[in-house]
Amino acid sequence: MSILPIDSGRYGTKEMLAVFREQNKINYQLEVEGAAAYSQSQIGIIPKSVGKNILKVAKSGKITAKRIKQLEAKSDHDTAALVEALSEKCKLEVRPWIHYGLTSNDLVDTSNSMQMKDALAIIQPKVGKLALLLAQKAVKYKNIPAVGRTHGQHASIISFGLKFANWAAEMSKHLERIEEIKKRIFICKTLGVVGTGSLMGAKALEVQKRVAKRLGLYPAEVTTQIIPRERYAEYVFQLALLGSTLEKIAIEIRNLQRTEIDEVAEHFKKGQMGSSSVPVKRNPIKSERITSLSKLLRSQVHTSFENIPHWHERDLSNSANERFILPMCSILADEMLETMIKIIQNLHVNTNKIKQNLYITKGQIFAEFLLKALIKKGIPRFKAYRDVQRVAFEAHKKDMEFIDAIKKDKVLSSKLKENEIKSIFSPENHLGASGTIINNVFKLVQKSRKKFT
């Protein structure tokens, strides 16, 4: 019976769940055992025939989670049980050399690195895909004037495409960040009990170098019994940072889908029910899911930072929680990406409502541009500011159109011609450098995807 939603399949893609399946974790660790033995045999630490046999058995697929659990029930040590299960399948003369010079965390930490590597291989292309989708939306809507809101209030005119461009640019930065951390988190460690490589002596670093190359990892420069947990904290932090950007997008979609705003809406498929009680509801449930999962993902950053300090060369204060946080953070980040990709692919944009919302304040959203026009006429900034504010507040009080209030005001109407006032109230005139910015972001995204995916 499943307890966690991840186990039940409610959250998590098949490809990401596979990376963290119990048997797959065992296979990663066996791969480390095989690579270490083979590397040792190639430089004369153990006989060549021994290294070949251990490598062959480690890759045979015959060592199962079921058998390891049986052995662990007796030894109460999961790595010892894995080594024993491997020994059972090897030749008698080979068995003394299995796990030679290694310790549990050589397998645990290096296999963690392998899982993080495979996890990012799934996540990174999806970040690139989402970046492109957002950039394409930015280009599509770059000429649509929309309400720009600050503090929840109408502030000024924005290109609706600029919203997507902001998100697209940050996704391209996440591609860079993911690429940058690889050299610090894809770490191979085979230096034994306290990080000296004691049983392998002077050849320990050469073994580690060979194992790292075989596994597609970076050899550790120095460790205790474990890889420094700063590396894991950086991995978790990067996923949480990515998740926070996805939540930022989700919150904007949720807000824009509010009944009063109605500028965008998540796709609502045939047969879908928005509420068990209210038949007309179309709730932004996917965006809300991302917001919820982001909170859980972000909370793991604290735990990963708490795991950095240890007693001496190591203790077990990190071990149990890392069995949760590394898989969970990877699975949640991937789930959120998948969900956001689907949201953006099928997002309904209500351009009519976007245009209507520009005039909810009866034209007061154009106040910034009125101020600019007065300043250009030579009126001191704060005098112009107070005059615009005075007329705007009076118009709001009387429920008047702002343009009519300006025309009736002797101070403002004396400074501006009819055609100048009309130009101020044309939203298409106020998109500024949006088009150039959006085009630049599109190029940035294309460059990042080409370089990092």
Print the SS3 string covering the chain.
CCCCHHHHCCCCCHHHHHHCCHHHHHHHHHHHHHHHHHHHHHCCCCCHHHHHHHHHHHCCCCCCHHHHHHHHHHHCCHHHHHHHHHHHHCCCCCHHHCCCCCCHHHHHHHHHHHHHHHHHHHHHHHHHHHHHHHHHHHHHCCCCEEEEEECCEEEEEEEHHHHHHHHHHHHHHHHHHHHHHHHHHCEECCCCCCCCCCCCHHHHHHHHHHHHHHHCCEECCCCCCCCCCHHHHHHHHHHHHHHHHHHHHHHHHHHHCCCCCCCEECCCCCCCCCCCCCCCCCCCHHHHHHHHHHHHHHHHHHHHHHCCCCCCCCCCCCHHHHHHHHHHHHHHHHHHHHHHHHHHHCCEECHHHHHHHCCCCCCHHHHHHHHHHHHHCCCCHHHHHHHHHHHHHHHHHHCCCHHHHHHHCHHHHCCCCHHHHHHHCCHHHHCCCHHHHHHHHHHHHHHHHHHHC
Query: Which is catalytic among the residues 151, 276, 277, 312?
Result: 151
Query: Which is catalytic among the residues 60, 198, 275, 317?
Result: 275
The answer to whether residue 151 is catalytic is: yes
The answer to whether residue 413 is catalytic is: no
Catalytic positions, please? 151, 275
